[in-house]
Structure 1
Amino acid sequence: MRKLLYLLTLSFLASCVSVKKHNEKREIPIAPEKLKKDVDFAYQKLQKLHPELYWYISQDSLDYKFDSIKTTIKTPLKPNDFYQKLAPVIAKVKQGHLRLYPLEKRLTKKEIENLKNQKGLLSRFNFVVDDNRIFVLDNTEKIANMDVGTEILKIKDIPLKDLLQKYHPFINSDGLNKTFQKYSLARRWPAFFTAEFGILDSVKLETKLNNATKTFYLHREKMSKEERKKEESANKKITKSETGKTKDYNIITKSYNRDLQFPVKDSSVAYMKIKTFSGTFSRKFYKQSFAILKKSPAKYLVLDIRDNLGGSLYEINNLYSYLAKEDFKFINDIEVTSRSAMFQADYFSEFSWIYKPLAVVGYPFYWLGTALSVKKKDDRFYLRNNGIFSIKKVKKNNFEGKVYVLMNGSSFSAAAILPSKLKGDQRAFLVGEETGGANDGTVAGRYSTKKLPNSRLYLPIGLMLIQPNIEFTNTKKGVIPDKEITPTLLEILQKKDVQLDTVMELIKQDKKSISEIKP
């Protein structure tokens, strides 16, 4: 017992020292020559590991940008000041999955425990961005002075438009796409703000609503242990339930990631909302849902993947097997840069400390599987098809009616690959906005996270070029809808779903034309 207590005490003290040292390093300026070495290190790793580094920017142009940034580093910089220089250059690669991360402040165990008993500050709201302006989109807890439609003019006496202009260069999408940035910035600006100013207990805001301005402090509210225990118990009850598992209940948004409804009285239209392709119990959800659809009178399926940032390739492949009308190949063989690239994929970092010993035991088998997984064809390297994405058969309960897809600029990654395939195979009619993810594929899948040696910034690099099995458009843009509908700011704030309304009107017209044809 004494030895155990001694080890625990030692571990606790070491943890405290580690946190202190890490946070001290955030404030220490780094010599220019060392920062220039970090620039070279980042570019060398990108060239070695990223399969399509020059897809959206020429090598000469990217070489110039990396060389140019080094000429601007003339004085010592703190890690996060250096981040503000390098992150925009990384963003010029125009790959939405590729981003540099600032050096975050680490918290002590006591600080983490205190935060557990507190509600968030800015994270409790959803926002919408419109021309360098921020508006409150959702205030589910009805926090005072933050009604839906409230514009935030200043935060900490800083005009918010200045912060948005500062953070915008850190945001990138796939290729020439322009629809993704406003959604990404609306989600991420509080994280950029926190990285810059730290975790605050309160913040001064100046807001505007109905032409009336107001200045006040927004506070981080504390939760009692009883409140927290009650919330955790309620969340556990839902997430452990069969419905909570199959529909993938999200305790943060307090909603289901997947859902199937029949919005019209005669059940001729089915509406399936997928908020994220998390993969969690997805196979069971689709099996149950399409069995229900098969028995229903539904002739139309509306698949809503707006604000879906992607996720599991397996899930979208499986979903497509319920929508296809004939056997299909969902994606092309996955390309990597070399035989050795996948050896650099994150492995041990994907395991918690409890499972680290098992990871060590399993590593030789992982290494062997990785070594055998790469094949060479025409001087390029691909992962051998493991059966998941080979020719697939259509599911017995596949939906044979008309499919409409709702998508927007925040449909990204897997949520762009799916509509790209549906459109390429002429299996669905797409409504909404150009997707944030590229039509012709993306670089993601497995990552190799590199730590820049001097600034200690993290750079996760996607290792796999994933492309749908379609005839490529080569437009360097997202998936273009068959009918473009972009809601106005007023429609968004008033929660008017003009995109869904458009689909329902198209279905109504289709029903009418069919009835006129029938004798």
Structure 2
Amino acid sequence: MIKNILLTFVIEPKRQVLTLLLVILSQVVFAQKKISKQELTEDFVQLKGQLEKLHLGLYYYETKEDFEKRYAETIDNFPDSLTITEAYLALNSFVGGLQDLHTSVLFPKNYFPKDKNKALPMVIRKKGDKFYIHLNGSTDSTILRGEEIISVDKIPVKETFEKSKGLFGTDKANQNSKNFYAERYFARNTNILYGIKDSMLLELKNTKKDSIYFRKISTELTKNSNKILAKRYKNINRKNLNFKIVDSLNHVAVMDVVSFSEKGNKLDFHQLRFNKLVKKNFKAIEENNIKHLIVDFRFNGGGLLTNTKRITKYVATNPFVATDSVRISKSGFNKLFPPYLLPNYIIGRMIFKKQVDGSFLRTPNRSNKPSKKHHYDGNLYVLMDGGSYSATTLTIGLWKDMNRATFVGNTVGGANWGSFAGQWKDLKLNNSKFKVHIPLMKLVHGHPNKTNKTFFVEPDYYVDQSFEDFIRRKDSPMDFVLDLIKNK
């Protein structure tokens, strides 16, 4: 842990930020389990005490008075007993009110047997006020892509979608981010709200025939629906750090950056594989004389701060710092650098300076220099959306502050000023056994030029996928950038 603190300052990747979506698919097994009002109230008291000690963003997006009011009202509204699902929704709603996506609620892992994690095997997309089948991962191949989905088990999809938005405590209640996750995780959100079922009744509309029909389909384990999707559709997955030349005549290439944490050897603590792949890509960019580079940051929920520096050094024109400051609470500092481990405590006191309010502050003592080898000075384009969060928001904001790229897509998920992240404590509540993922640090992004004045990083060009392009499976933002390049 100390090595991570000194060298990387971890910013949670999307698969960790959204862990709650990955682990709560089997609460049907526990639907009959109850927790009393007294027990859940005791858990809330425990949680409140730890939030006040550890979370530096507790009163950042709401006042202390509003927080106390929400806390009291939540407890007062508890019935005499609650199911595990009801308790989760109450707890998640309260934590979501902090308006920080890095702070989340998780079920204990042993609550959810793998053979019970079934879900609706459909991926949907919202176009206007309607919802459509984007990908069909069910065994029923007669349900066609592009058909409108009206209801699931007689509950309107629009109603479920609106409820789903309440499951995400996005930064400063970022609505674009809420919409993004409510759409992308619709199947899992349905399980959270209504429980897991063996089958579901879909109300569908064939848009070509303008006819409505009903179809009962089996829910599927994720691994099974993924196999079906892979066979049924081509090119549905983006590989991290994939590089390809899309227009050799105009020297245009695309680099996918799906995560700032590269999977691989578990002993690769310093993410050397990520570094190796980034270097390989920029070497290829240089060798192929790429003049226009498109970096796709869409649906990248974050990763290691070190990796944001590793990619930025190849495009930065001047020395830069990724974070202006890193602050940690007194209790958080003692958790990471316990006094009884004297060597670690001494290291912590060397890199963090104690402040008057009792917190500890670290400011960078040196900047990161642009890479001399394989440095890219050509035209840079960034694709972004509501799923661009955490370390990705930091990177996009940094590049915008540098005036280094043209930004296309939609508003990112995270705040431009910084985030509450870095290191975490998973607080296990005594009675319900839920875990609350609490960030221990406040990271302020390094923006010396103050180029961006908006709270969230906004694109230079807002481009959403049109319905026509959705039907044809065309990437509207990508096509927009390619047209920009051709018309230069």
TM, length-normalised to structure 2? 0.79
Equivalent in 295, 319, 327 of residue 311 of structure 2: 319
Q: Which whole-Å CA distance do the structure 1 matches of 2:481 and 2:452 have between them?
A: 28
Aligned partner of 2:125 in structure 1 is: 128
Counterpart contact for 2:37–2:78, Cα < 8 Å: yes
Paired with 2:149 and 2:178, the residues of 1 have a C-alpha distance of 19
Q: Distance in 1 between matches of 2:142 and 2:196?
A: 21
Secondary structure of the corresponding residue to residue 507 of structure 1: helix
Aligned to 1:161: 158
Distance 1:162 1:501 in 2: 33
Aligned to 1:192: 189
Q: How does 1:231-380 map to 2 (within 5 A)?
A: 255-280=238-263, 281-338=273-330, 340-344=331-335, 373-377=351-355, 379=357
Matched AA of 2:486: K
Structure 1 Cα separation of the partners of residues 222 and 446 of structure 2 = 50
TM-score (norm 1): 0.75
Write the deviation string for residues 365-412 of structure 1: whole angstroms up to 9, x where unpaired. Answer: 767755655322454634657x8x941121122101121111112211
Whether contact under 8 Å (1:335, 1:380) holds in the other structure is: no
Which one has more relative contact order, counting CA pairs under 8 Å at least 6 apart? 2
For the structure 1 residues 149 and 383, does the alpha-carbon distance in structure 2 shift closer, same or farther, using more than 3 Å as the test?
Answer: farther
Report the 3-state secondary structure (helix = DSSP H, G, I; strand = E; otherwise coil) of the residue aligned with 2:242.
Answer: strand
Do 1:176 and 1:477's aligned partners in 2 also have CA atoms closer than 8 Å? no
The answer to whether the 8 Å contact 1:345/1:447 transfers is no
Q: Secondary structure at the match of 1:30?
A: strand
Q: Which residue of 1 aligns with 2:423?
A: 446
2:54 is the alignment partner of 1:49 = yes
The Cα of 1:133 is off from its aligned counterpart by 4.8
Partner of 2:211: 212
Partner residue in 2 for 1:19? none
Q: 1:419 to 1:383 in 2, by over 3 A?
A: same
Does 2:371 correspond to 1:395?
A: yes
Q: Distance in 2 between matches of 1:411 and 1:479?
A: 10
The answer on whether the counterparts of 2:325 and 2:445 sit within 8 Å (CA) in structure 1 is no
Amino acid at match of 1:448: K
- TM-superposed CA distance for 1:153, in Å, is 2.3
CA contact (8 A) 1:139 1:147 kept: yes
Partner of 1:32: 37
Give the partner amino acid of 2:58: L
Q: For residue 485 of structure 2, what is the aligned residue in structure 1?
A: 507
User: Kindly tell me: are residues 368 and 188 of structure 1, through their superposed partners in 2, closer, same or farther at Cα, counting changes over 3 Å?
Assistant: farther
Q: Quick one: structure 1 residues 66 and 489, their matched pair in 2 at CA, closer, same or farther if it must change by over 3 Å?
A: farther
Could you tell me whether the CA contact under 8 Å between 2:257 and 2:296 is conserved in 1? yes
**Counterpart code for 1:284:** K
Change in 2 beyond 3 A, CA 1:368/1:200: farther
- 1:484 counterpart = 2:470: no
Equivalent residue letter for 2:40 = L
Secondary structure, in 3 states, of the residue corresponding to 1:96? coil
Larger Rg, first or second structure (1 or 2): 1
Q: RMSD between aligned alpha carbons?
A: 3.5
Q: Which residue of 2 aligns with 1:10?
A: none
In structure 1, what residue type is equivalent to 2:278?
Answer: Y
Contact 1:154–1:160 under 8 Å retained in 2: yes
The answer as to whether partners of 2:312 and 2:395 remain within 8 angstroms in 1 is yes
- 1:200 and 1:36 map into 2 onto residues whose CA distance is 30
Deviation at 1:473, TM superposition (A): 8.0
Q: Structure 2: which amino acid aligns with 1:168?
A: K
- Check conservation: 2:423, 2:439, Cα contact below 8 A: yes
5 Å-filtered alignment, 1:454-493, equals 454-471=431-448, 477-493=455-471
In 2, Cα distance between the equivalents of 1:149 and 1:259? 28
Aligned length: 440
Cα deviation, 1:49-95, whole Å, max 9, x if unaligned, reads 11222222122212211111122124222232122223222212111
Cα 1:489–1:342, aligned 2, differ >3 Å: closer, same or farther? farther
Report the structure, 1 or 2, having the larger strand content.
2
Q: CA deviation at 1:474?
A: 9.4
Residues 408 and 459 of structure 2 are in contact (CA less than 8 Å); yes or no, is this contact kept in structure 1?
A: yes
Corresponding letter in the other structure for 2:381:
Y
Q: What is the CA–CA distance in structure 1 between the aligned matches of 2:104 and 2:396, rounded to whole Å?
A: 24
Deviations 1:96-150 (A, max 9, x none): 2222235677356xxx4x57xxx9642x443223567542222378842432223
> Identity percentage over the alignment?
23
In the other structure, the counterpart of 1:58 is 63
Counterpart residue type for residue 205 of structure 1: L
Q: Distance in 1 between matches of 2:401 and 2:222?
A: 50
In the alignment, is the contact (CA less than 8 A) between 2:30 and 2:111 conserved in 1?
A: no
The 2-side partners of 1:380 and 1:131 are apart by: 50
Shift of 1:488: 3.4
Letter in 2 for 1:276: S
Paired position in structure 2 for 1:432: 409
Structure 1 residue identity aligned to 2:217: L
Cα separation, partners in 2 of 1:206 and 1:141, compared to 1, 3 Å: closer
Contact 1:407 1:433 in 2 (8 A): yes
Are 1:34 and 1:454, in contact at CA under 8 Å, matched by a contact in 2? yes
Task: Give 5+ residue unaligned stretches, structure 2.
Answer: 1-26, 264-272
Distance in 2 between residues matched to 1:487 and 1:254, nearest whole Å: 18
